Amino acid sequence: MSFLPYVIAAWLFVVGLWGVVSSTNLIRTVISLTVVQSSTYLVLLGVGYRTGGKAPIVADIPTSSKLVDPVVQVLVLTDIVIEATVTALLLALVVQAHKRFGSIRPSDLRALRD
Amino acid sequence: MSRRVRLALFAFAGPGLLAVLLIGLHGLPAFGHYRNVYGLLVDKVEPGLRHATDIVTALNFDIRAFDTLGEEFILFASVAGVAVLLRHLRGEEEAEQARGIEDHRFAGASPSLQLTSLILIPLLFALGAYLLLHGQLTPGGGFQAGVVLAAGPLAILLAGRYFALKRMAPESALELVESVGAGGYALIGLGGLIFATVYLKNFLPVGHQGTILSAGMMPINSIAVGLEVAGAFLVTWTEFFDQALIVER
């Protein structure tokens, strides 16, 4: 099953996107977006994997061992940091939307509807 | 936009997106059949070059050090954004003194939860410090350690002592920690500019492989990033908890 990680990544992407589109609650929208983003982790790590490769940490294995690509792992780390910050910013916007409109239903955001 | 309009738009755009997604995934190498050279080159070269044994950290703080600087400032800017968005607006008052609240307890915060939180606090700090100092040797480094370190004070909140946390770590102190971390990283880069002619290039002795004082400036970079991340997360959480617990309209 050499394509299974990509299938799961595509599934996470579509499910998360459906969550964003069909959401009736802004917090659910934000969480769905993190589901979409988690699919990118799977794609990145899947691309960098070599069959039989070990984690790129040579503290207790010889440097000549077969290792996986460390670059994509660093990109995933960046990805996670960005996801955390974007989530925090979006949730702050939700807090303000709730203050302003007294609701976190997307359809109640009057400034967007007018 | 109403829900119905959104769904109709998605029904229209969805199939196209799915097609592009499938075409894109089809072009990827089969799982396990890695084809690039760059990653393997890094795996071969970096341990000998900087004497780090965690190649991911080595990439983060050496080869991609400049990207990490950008990443750090993304974090910094977004925390500033959260602080601006959640500032206390006109008409909102702080209810802390008004109500004389000393502690906040979650509904159903049992003594066992409080006890567990108290036990967790020193363990989280120890784990965070370990991750911070061993980033160049084993999995860890500034980003991971910063989050674990920030989780320590979060356990104080879980124990129902939010205002004790506010007194112990006021927001101005947290912001200072965050700024020192972010600015420190940029200043370490200047060291590279002065002593090695390239910004953020390693200029310290690489030391003996496998020891804490190895891998040149990686441990120092790691500490700077750790401070910034811990400060950033705590500022963000404090802003949100203030909204929930203190601000009244």
Contact B75, B232 (CB under 8 A): yes
Contact B231, B178 (CB under 8 A): yes
**Closest CB from A4, A13, A86 relative to B31:** A4
Question: What residue type is assigned to position A33 of the chain?
Answer: L
The mean pLDDT value for B20-33 works out to 84
Cα gap B141→B134, rounded to integer Å = 7
B91 alpha carbon, distance to own chain's centre: 33
Task: State the CATH number of the domain containing residue A102.
Answer: 1.10.287.3510
pTM, 2 dp = 0.84
In a domain, A8, yes or no: yes
Query: Which residues span the domain enclosing A34?
Result: 4-51+60-108
Polymer length of chain B? 249
The mean pLDDT value for B50-77 works out to 87
State whether B34 and A69 contact (CB < 8 Å): yes
State whether A10 and B25 contact (CB < 8 Å): yes
State whether B34 and A50 contact (CB < 8 Å): yes
- The residue with tokens 């503290």 is A59
Predicted confidence (pLDDT) at residue B154 exceeds the cutoff of 80: yes
Render pLDDT for B64-99 as a digit per residue (tens, 0 to 9).
888 889 888 999 999 888 888 888 765 565 655 445
- Percentage, residues of chain B above pLDDT 90: 10
The mean pLDDT value for B31-59 works out to 81
Render pLDDT for B92-118 as a digit per residue (tens, 0 to 9).
656 554 454 555 555 556 788 888 888
Instruction: Output Rg (C-alpha) for chain B, integer angstroms.
Output: 23
Question: What residue type is assigned to position B132 of the chain?
Answer: L
CA angle A94, A100, A105 (to 5 degrees): 50
Kindly provide the b/e burial profile for residues B140-163, where b requires at least 16 CB atoms within 10 angstroms of the residue's own CB.
bbbbbbbbbbbbbbbbbbbbbbbb
Contact A90, A30 (CB under 8 A): yes
The mean pLDDT value for B225-241 works out to 89
* Residue boundaries of the structural domains of chain B: 53-246
**Closest CB from B38, B44, B53 relative to A59:** B53
Cα gap A29→A12, rounded to integer Å = 14
Helix (H, G, I), strand (E, B) or coil at A25: coil
Cα gap A62→A54, rounded to integer Å = 11
pLDDT value of residue B99: 52
Cα gap A28→A7, rounded to integer Å = 24
Lowest mean pLDDT among A85-94, B76-85, B184-193, B204-213: B204-213
Render pLDDT for A1-20 as a digit per residue (tens, 0 to 9).
578 888 899 899 999 999 99
Predicted confidence (pLDDT) at residue A86 exceeds the cutoff of 80: yes
The mean pLDDT value for B28-32 works out to 82
* Chain B residues touching A113 at Cβ < 8 A: 1-2
Which residues 148-177 of B are in CB contact (within 8 Å) with A? Answer: none
Distance from the B19 Cα atom to the nearest Cα atom in chain A, whole angstroms: 11
User: Minimal Cα distance from B25: which residue of A?
Assistant: A6
Contact B166, B198 (CB under 8 A): no
| Residue-averaged pLDDT of chain B | 81
pLDDT value of residue A2: 78
B94 touches chain A (CB under 8 A): no
**Cross-strand partners of B32:** A50
Question: Sign of torsion, CA A9 A11 A15 A21?
Answer: positive
In a domain, A113, yes or no: no
Total domains present in chain A: 1
- Select from B243, B241, B235, B248 the least CA-distant residue to B83: B235
The mean pLDDT value for B158-187 works out to 81
B108 touches chain A (CB under 8 A): no
In a domain, A114, yes or no: no
pLDDT value of residue B188: 86
